[in-house]
Structure 1
Amino acid sequence: CQAKSGMGKTAVFVLSTLQQIEPVAGQVAALVLCHTRELAYQICHEFQRFSTYLPDIKVAVFYGGVNIRSHKDLLKNECPHVVVGTPGRILALARDKDLG
């Protein structure tokens, strides 16, 4: 049994995740893996939308097709608390020990 489209599944997931995060500077608190770039971007957008009133929480999306150096720089300089990404890019960042 699956819930229908538009029933708020993503919103419930995002809100429950945000509720559990205790932001610590320089530490990733939540990692969300998505099987497509489009889904990763969509979920990241929802995290950003719902964290509007949580100014301490930073969110970033990582996926292939974008220069990995920009992702590494973002992780080093502005380490997000919520990382949303595709498995290939997350694996590459973890392998290089860039994913805090």
Structure 2
Amino acid sequence: MFAICVTFRVATGQMEAFMPLMLENAATSKELEPGCHRFDVLTDADKPDEVFLYELYTDSAAFDAHCDSTHFKAFSVATANMVAGKDVTSWRIVAS
């Protein structure tokens, strides 16, 4: 398995517009991508302008397919002006 962790820093005042698009992207990824096994969207009350994602894919090729998908590209375009910053890390599961 291949895990992706993403932290979005959403621009001030944009969370209300950003979150429905994020949730739609997550739901569509789980529904349409056979290689996407988990797509959690998390928030922290102490960090109101951040959204953390935990995504689990079969392998890096499945994640690449996610990044190439129409819905991901549409999400990226729609939210480009809402995102102040983004950190992405990838992890390979060695034991579970």
Normalised by the size of structure 2, how large is the TM-score? 0.33
- Structure number with the bigger relative contact order (C-alpha 8 A, sep ≥ 6) is 2
Give the TM-score taking structure 1 as reference length: 0.32
Q: Which has the higher strand share?
A: 2
